[in-house]
Amino acid sequence: MLNTPRVWPYFKEKAEILLYNENLGFIRLILTLLLLMVSSALCAWLFETPTTFIDVFLSIGRYLLAPFASMFLVLLLGGEFVQDVYQLGHYNSAVRHLWASMFRSFLPSLKVTNGEIGMGDQNLLAHVGGPGYLNIGRGTVALLERLESPSGVLGAGRHFIARFNRIRNVVSLMDQDVQPEKPIIATTKDGIIVEANSLQIRCRVYGGHKEGIAKRTIKNPYPYSVQAIRSMTYNVSVGADGKSGSWQNSVLAMVVGAVTGFINAHLLDRVIYPRFEENDTRSEIAKQIESKEMRAKLRSIGAELLWYDLGQFQVADDIEERRREARFADLWGLATVIRAQGEAERIANRERGRAEGQVNLLSGIIQALNESGISDKVDDNLWNIVLARTAQVIESMSTIYESVEHSEEDGNDDKS
């Protein structure tokens, strides 16, 4: 006696293989036709009561009409459902997809080259998914996914796409040259707008190497990493319209962020006219772009930077003119201060010399009076009077000298 609990899982497993295995589509078609023929023969045997097999075979035709009509109706209704779910433009494409899924015949094909999806079979594989054949050109990879997770990354060649698999992303392995559509605008720390023109970058898919840039070889002309393809598919930013941006624009945004960040953190003179003791602006920005942190950010979206050109930094013409005027005013003020300091030192030296001359003259007079042998009984008031008169004479002489000197200076100024 058969053990039912053990037999049922066995038949269930075989039935699932027969129904869902991709390679048994043609067998499913033959079994379906045989089932229709057998059911029609039984109906003919029961209702016609034929005496020979030839009579049964001749009576099958009328009993095949209802099963074939039912099957055809189910196929048409299923195609309408598929068209409504996937928003297909053509009804026959929906019916074809349903037939291909059931019996693996009349499979669609799709060609992918240069990172772009072709128009084969009205993009049935791109809109709905497998089953079908995907032809991938050289230098291109495709990421497939199921409903719950990615299912694989396919390189160049002809590949069979199973049911419930669809193309999530197509990536070109060629070097990508990217530049902004319009100039980059940033504001310096002192509030002046700087415009960066002609910025260019060249990037490609991360090659899976640890350090440096993966080299291309004859055997592997387009190196790539499976994880990099997944990262640039699922780690890209999404715009306000709900559409995900390209990985090339994400790389460009990181480079632009490094440029604008440096401009925002420094003054205009540091950005446009750095001093000799300061590092060059481009060198500072290059350090940020080529840093390990930047490489890690690029690797997180599955890309690597090959080359870049920072272009030119410019400011408005009126800003440049005002900057020159301010610079000239600063230099003129500095020159005025230096002249004033020199004039003050000259006057101080002159006054110091005149005072020293007066002291020396008075000392000489006192020494002469002492040497003349004048009696000590002379009144002190007389000495004071003599010294005061002598000081007055010296002061008048110096005043006359100053007036003559000033008149000569005024004459020189008039001549100049």
Residue 318 has pLDDT above 90, yes or no: no
- Kindly list the structural domains of the chain, giving each domain's residue range(s) and its CATH number in brackets, ordered by start: 4-92 (no CATH), 107-172 (no CATH), 176-315 (3.30.479.30), 319-415 (no CATH)
* pLDDT (0 to 100) of residue 2: 43
Residue 203 has pLDDT above 90, yes or no: yes
Q: Please enumerate in sequence order all residues whose Cβ is within 8 A of that of 297, keeping only pairs 6 or more positions apart, or say none.
A: 254
What six digits make up the tokens of 411?
């004459």
Between 39-53, 315-329, 333-347, the lowest mean confidence (pLDDT) is in 315-329
For residue 177, give the amino acid letter. D
For residue 155, give the amino acid letter. G
For residue 291, give the amino acid letter. S
* pLDDT (0 to 100) of residue 404: 47
Between 26-30, 371-375, 387-391, the lowest mean confidence (pLDDT) is in 371-375
Q: Please enumerate in sequence order all residues whose Cβ is within 8 A of that of 50, keeping only pairs 6 or more positions apart, or say none.
A: 44, 56, 59
Residue of higher predicted confidence among 396 and 352 = 352
The string of pLDDT tens digits covering residues 175-198 is 999 999 888 999 888 888 888 888
The arrangement of strands across the sheet holding 132-136 comes to: 116-117, 109-113, 132-136, 157-161
Find the mean pLDDT for residues 228-234: 90
Query: 133: helix, coil or strand?
Result: strand
* pLDDT (0 to 100) of residue 208: 76
Residue 347 has pLDDT above 50, yes or no: yes
CB 144 within 8 A of CB 120: no
Position of tokens 């190196």?
223
Find the mean pLDDT for residues 375-384: 59
The string of pLDDT tens digits covering residues 141-151 is 999 998 888 88
Residue of higher predicted confidence among 297 and 102 = 297
pTM for this model (two decimals): 0.65
Indicate the pLDDT class of residue 1, thresholds 50, 70 and 90. Answer: very low
Find the mean pLDDT for residues 151-173: 89
The string of pLDDT tens digits covering residues 256-281 is 999 999 999 988 878 887 775 567 88
What six digits make up the tokens of 57?
């075979």
Residue 315 has pLDDT above 50, yes or no: yes
Q: Report CA torsion sign: 95, 100, 102, 105.
A: positive
* pLDDT (0 to 100) of residue 215: 72
The arrangement of strands across the sheet holding 303-309 comes to: 176-178, 200-205, 303-309
* pLDDT (0 to 100) of residue 370: 66
Q: How far is CA 213 from the centre of its chain?
A: 19
Residue of higher predicted confidence among 98 and 408 = 98
* pLDDT (0 to 100) of residue 398: 60
Prior bond of 131 cis (ω within 30°):
yes
What six digits make up the tokens of 404?
């003559």
Which residues share a beta bridge with 259? none
Find the mean pLDDT for residues 121-140: 82
Between 55-59, 301-305, 335-339, the lowest mean confidence (pLDDT) is in 55-59
Report the percentage of the chain scoring pLDDT > 90. 18
Report the percentage of the chain scoring pLDDT > 70. 71
Pairing of strands 132-136, 109-113: parallel
Indicate the pLDDT class of residue 293, thresholds 50, 70 and 90. Answer: very high
State the chain's mean pLDDT as an integer: 78
N-terminal to C-terminal alpha carbon distance within the chain: 134
Residue of higher predicted confidence among 377 and 255 = 255
Position of tokens 């420094």?
266
Indicate the pLDDT class of residue 22, thresholds 50, 70 and 90. Answer: low
